[in-house]
Amino acid sequence: MNQNTPNYATYSVDELQDVLARIDQTRFPERYVAAQRALDLKLTEKQMPQTGADLAGEGVESAEKPRWAELLWITRTTLLSFFGLLLAQLLGGFADFLPANHITSELSGLIWGLKIGFLLLWCVVLIKDAGFSHYLMKSKRGLVMVFCLPLLVWLLVDNFVDRVVPLGMHQFAVVEPVNVAMAYEKRSRSKLCQYRLRLLGKPDWDSTYICVSEPFYQKLNANGTLTLRAEQSDYGLLIKEYRAIAK
My answer on whether 98 and 111 are in the same domain is yes
pLDDT score for 4: 66
What is the signed CA dihedral for 75, 77, 81, 83, rounded to 10 degrees? 70
Q: Is residue 33 within 8 Å of 61, Cβ to Cβ?
A: no
My answer on whether 190 and 161 are in the same domain is no
- Evaluate whether residue 218 is within a structural domain: yes
My answer on whether 141 and 118 are in the same domain is yes
Alpha helices in 58-177 (DSSP H): 73-93, 101-106, 108-128, 130-137, 140-159, 165-171
My answer on whether 121 and 79 are in the same domain is yes
- Evaluate whether residue 134 is within a structural domain: yes
My answer on whether 120 and 213 are in the same domain is no
Q: What would the mean pLDDT of 5-30 be, rounded to a whole number?
A: 82
pLDDT tens string 96-123: 888 888 888 888 889 999 999 999 999 9
Nearest-angstrom CA–CA distance, 174 and 232 = 8
pLDDT tens string 204-218: 888 888 888 889 999
- Our count of domains for the chain comes to 3
pLDDT tens string 153-165: 999 998 899 889 9
My answer on whether 188 and 234 are in the same domain is yes
pLDDT score for 150: 92
Q: DSSP states of 56-83 as a string?
A: HHTTSSPPPPPPGGGS-HHHHHHHHHHH
- Evaluate whether residue 62 is within a structural domain: no
Query: Does residue 10 register a pLDDT over 90?
Result: no
My answer on whether 30 and 78 are in the same domain is no
Q: Is residue 92 within 8 Å of 238, Cβ to Cβ?
A: no
- Evaluate whether residue 1 is within a structural domain: no
pLDDT score for 2: 52
Phi, psi of 202 (to 5 degrees): -145, 180
Confidence band (pLDDT; 50, 70, 90) for 188? confident
pLDDT tens string 128-139: 998 899 889 888
pLDDT score for 55: 42
Average predicted confidence (pLDDT) for the chain: 84
pTM summary value: 0.63
My answer on whether 83 and 122 are in the same domain is yes
pLDDT: which is higher, 123 or 43: 123
Phi, psi of 233 (to 5 degrees): -135, 180
**Boundaries of domain holding 23:** 8-57
pLDDT: which is higher, 3 or 93: 93
My answer on whether 45 and 120 are in the same domain is no
pLDDT score for 104: 81
